[in-house]
Amino acid sequence: MSTSLNLGGEGVSLGLLAAGLIFLYGVWLGRRDTGWRAAQGVLGAVVLGGVLPFFLAQFAPVLFSSDSRSLTSLFLLTAVNIAGVLVAFLPWLVAGNWLEILRRDGPRV
């Protein structure tokens, strides 16, 4: 069985990039403390996104029947793939939220 639960490598790399970029943006605005909190939030989303697929993978043999041609198995596989993509996008969603907070507060004078 091959699913896209294997998105961990790219998801973690892009999540670390998002955390670094939001931290740098906070430093550039002169709000290092808020930038650090934002980076920690994004890293928390990366950890959540990295742990959740492992929990899904533990239940995959129970959810999927041995007959890969069954319609129920196809629907479950599609749902797991969609959930994997959404979880991989979670750190960028958190970073976007923090970006809006940093922009609203503006640079420190």
Tens of pLDDT, residues 68-93: 567 777 777 787 778 777 777 888 89
Tell me the C-alpha distance between 12 and 49, whole Å: 8
pLDDT of 5 > 60? The answer is no
Tell me the C-alpha distance between 19 and 14, whole Å: 9
Higher pLDDT, 7 or 39: 39
Q: What is the 3-state secondary structure (H, E, C) of 75-102?
A: HHHHHHHHHHHHHHHHHHHHHHHHHHHH
pTM of the model: 0.71
Tens of pLDDT, residues 31-47: 999 999 999 999 999 88
